[in-house]
Amino acid sequence: MPRLLGVDIPNDKPTVFSLRYLYGVGDKVALELCHKAGIDPQKHARDLAEEELSRLAVLLERDYTVEGPLRRQVQQNINRLRDIKCYRGMRHRLGLPVRGQRTRTNARTRKGPKKTVAGKKGVKDLR
């Protein structure tokens, strides 16, 4: 498996798809990288020469923010929002959806598994 910036990229996929395994590299950036480095996007990752891999690594480090630095930057942005105690920062702190989604139903990804409330009576029991 070829390694780029400390990440193993899959052998059996075309280069343009393998590059997407890097954090911060999507469809457009992967295609741009292939063109800038002069690599055929459909060439499988296992067929890449060391020289081609080094060209990709140099391009990634020079022109793009990916992997560790990008993760650090995102975390710093979230911490800044928490520190200034803005609405979005408070939502991050409470573990609730940040971008205006409803929380009465759904939002289980952010809120975690349901917490059953003990002693809650149904509508039939109130009569």
Is the confidence at residue 80, as pLDDT, over 90? yes
Q: What mean pLDDT comes out for the span 79-94?
A: 95
Spell out the residues 6+ positions from residue 80 whose beta carbon is closer than 8 angstroms to its own.
Answer: 89
Residue 126's pLDDT is 60
Is the confidence at residue 82, as pLDDT, over 70? yes
- pTM for this prediction: 0.75
Burial degree of 64 (CB within 10 A; 0-12, 13-18, 19+): middle
Instruction: Kindly report which listed range (1-10, 35-44, 77-86, 97-106) carries the lowest average pLDDT score.
Output: 1-10
Q: What percent of the chain has pLDDT over 90?
A: 51
Which secondary-structure segment (H or E) carries 45? none
Q: What mean pLDDT comes out for the span 55-80?
A: 92
Residue 46's pLDDT is 86
